[in-house]
Every structure is written in C-alpha cells, then in structure tokens.
Structure 1
C-alpha cells in the first residue's frame, strides 16, 4: 500500500519512518510512504504558500495554487490515482470502521494542513475525503497523518507478525474493548495473574476474556454496547 504525504514539514516524518513495524513493512515492500512538500510548487522566490484570509481574522491560510499543483503532480506520479484525504477537525472521525475502509485502497494521498487551515476552494474543487483524528486541535495534519498510517498498516496482510493480532484489538471484530492481559512474573508487588490464565483450559480462558471485555467496555465505554 502506498501513502503519499503532502505537507509543509516533511522532516517531521524522518524518525517516524525509521522505527518499529512501519520500517519493517517498508523494508519488506508491503508499505510505501512518500513525502512531498507544498513549497516545491510555490512560484515566488520566497516559496510562500500562505496568505491572509479575506474578511480579516487571525492567522494565515494555505493557498489554492501550490496545493492543486502538488496534488495533480503527485497523482500523476503513478498509473493509478489515489484516494485524496484531508486531515481536518471538521472531517469524519477516525474509527476502526473507517480504518477498514481506508485499508481497501491501494493508495492514499494525505493532505496535512497548517496555520488556520486550507482555502475552502481546495475542499470544493479537489473533493478530498475529510478525516478528523478526534475532537481536539493539533498544530497541523502531520501527527493525525501518522496516526492514520499507523492504524491502516495493521490491516495490511504481512505487516503484523501474528495475523490474528488485529482481530483481538479494542474496537475490532468484537466491537468491545480488549480484555486485560498479563505476562511474567506471576506475582508483582502484591498483584497476581488471574488463576484462570494459568489453568491451560483454553475454552474457559476464552470465556473469561470475553466476560472481561464486556465488563471493561461497560465500565469505560458503555456507548459501544448500544
């Protein structure tokens, strides 16, 4: 799967791309992440991409011309165009159902805003899928883009060492929060591993885990049970 990240700050991704599962997936050829800078399509000698908003107000807006030119050039960088995504607090909230939808695409172009956001005509003309990481404001779209990449690659076959891992994550197939898990030592500062997990009775362990998922979901996210 290919991700094209369109941003004013591609350097933010340098360390992120060199770590953990994502690096392994890239090295294995399962994931391809390419970084593009809007400023490369700016036409003035200062490489400016923003301007003050009409009607007044604080901050600066990212202008249409460099974004349109960048998107069109990046789309033409491959035989098949990708799904354009804009990271914005006004978009559809990212959840596991949306992650599953995104994982069906072969290619995603991620628009990362800055300052006070994008000129509205970027949304009107390019018609991106607008996605929000949550009901909060970040300094830009780069961190939400990393979050999106992290969630989507888990559903790409071969990325996880155990292909069943993602099935038991919170919000996955069961729609419940994940059950509590334990590892060595058996006893730590007065806290014990539940005896059922040491029993070797796998049907009973599965039953206990399901019950614990229900209890945890009811206590912490009762809305999921509805």
Structure 2
C-alpha cells in the first residue's frame, strides 16, 4: 500500500518569519522547504486573492479571520500566475538541475500524487484538493482564534486502524513479490549455468505459507528478516 502522506499546514509566529503577522505555510512531500499557502493555491489553479479567500473563509463578513489571512496574501503576492507558482514549488524539490518545463511537470506530479492523495490522485482533481486544503486552513484558523478546541491527537476516533483484511492483503502482496523474485533468480541461474528449468525447485511454496503462519502466530506483520520494520500488533 501507499505510505501516509506527510502533507501539513503550519502557522508560524510573526517573529519566526519576520512578517507583520502570523504566516501559514504548507509542508509538501519531496519539497525541501515550506511553501506559502497562497503559492500552493495558485499551483492548484486558484489564482485570484478573492477566490483563495472564498476557499478558506466561508463568511466574507468575518473580519477577524480575514485579518489573520492578510500576512499570507502579502507572503504570496510576488507570484500571481499558476506556471510561476508551479516553477517556484518544483525549484525547491529534491530533484535538482531540471529545465523550467520539467520543474513545472515535477511540481504538478507532486501536487497530483503526493498532496492529499486520499482526496484524489487522478488528473484534474486540483479543484477538490483546493477546497480540502482551504478547509484545513479554516480549521487551523478557528483553533488559532480559540473558536474551537484543539483536536485531541490521542482520541481513538483520530487513530488509523489496520484490520485483518488490509494486513493480510499487504502481507500476501509482499510474500508473492518475494516468491516471484526467487523464481526470477532461479531462472537466471538456469540460463547462466545451462541447467534444465525445474518448476518444483523454482516455486518455493513455503515462502507464502511460512510467511502467513509467522505473522498469524506472532502478531508481527511483515518480513521475518526485517522484524525491526514490521508492524507489531495482535493476531
């Protein structure tokens, strides 16, 4: 399965960022620095300040919330175009030395596949992501203005549970991949040494059987040899 996305929205105190107010930035996977939220919105195709504000602030008479967003507008003022925003994001990625076109494509791919993958990973999902991103910022602002309580991270409702189905399917996928690699290695060896291919020797059925038995018996979901990285749980 896909690993959990490390996408975050952070609020920085004005003294940290040397600005006139609290600035909000987004941490995007594979991008080395935090990106101003206005730049992320423009990268998603929401260009005008008013459109961005409408994604975040659901009541345009809410003066307190609009005031809190002023520093963010100033922070992203230099970038007014989608392509420039994508270039700005792509230029700060882990892949260096790319041409402008490739940087833009790289940024588009990151926003499509790594930013909020649970919303969508399909092309053309920028609008959905922009609304969800706005909702995240809205919730952060409500907490900052003390209009709602902070989320309790230890609450059971906030936990991600891996139940029997996903655990077994991921384990089987990993064991089957190991089995096919072993068959490939055996076949390669036969070709190199001019030996006859023996299907019984090639397919080690105990790879899957023993792997499933081990996890069901011990509660460690993963490769026996990599017990440090396997998930410990109840079986």
**TM-score normalised per structure 2:** 0.31
More strand by share: 1
Structure of greater Rg: 2
More helix by share: 2
- Answer 1 or 2: higher relative contact order, Cα 8 Å, separation at least 6: 1
